[in-house]
Amino acid sequence: MTIPREGKLLRIFIGESDRDGSRPAHQAIVELARRHGLAGATVLRGLAGFGHSSRIHTAKILRLSMDLPIVIEIVDAAEKIDAFLPLLEPLIGGGLVTLERVEVLVYRAKEPSP
């Protein structure tokens, strides 16, 4: 699989407690991206953050709320990202979704060790 040099970065900001039925929303999004042949996805767990509600979510030990921020990043050709967006919409209850133009410099699998 290749990605053209000019692509798009889809960035999805949700909470750790967001769900799609019985499974975490980030897992559902990654699995959907894979089923639809996107080049890859990365899920990042934040240490702290706040969003639309302005409620701070943090990993401090004494905090009762552990709804930490989750960021999912997907880079691929603009056409593939654009086609994926309508499929993504039902999985986003609350959060933020952004798009950026990116220049892809390297996209390859790691060579196996001999």
**Segment 54-104, tens digit of pLDDT:** 777 776 655 555 688 999 999 999 999 999 999 999 999 999 999 999 999
Among the listed ranges 35-39, 44-48, 103-107, which one has the minimum average pLDDT value? 44-48
pLDDT score of 49: 84
Domain 6-103 has CATH 3.30.930.10: no
Is the torsion defined by CA of 84, 89, 91, 94 positive or negative? positive
Residues 109 and 52 sit within 8 Å (Cβ to Cβ)? no
Global pTM value: 0.88
pLDDT score of 113: 79
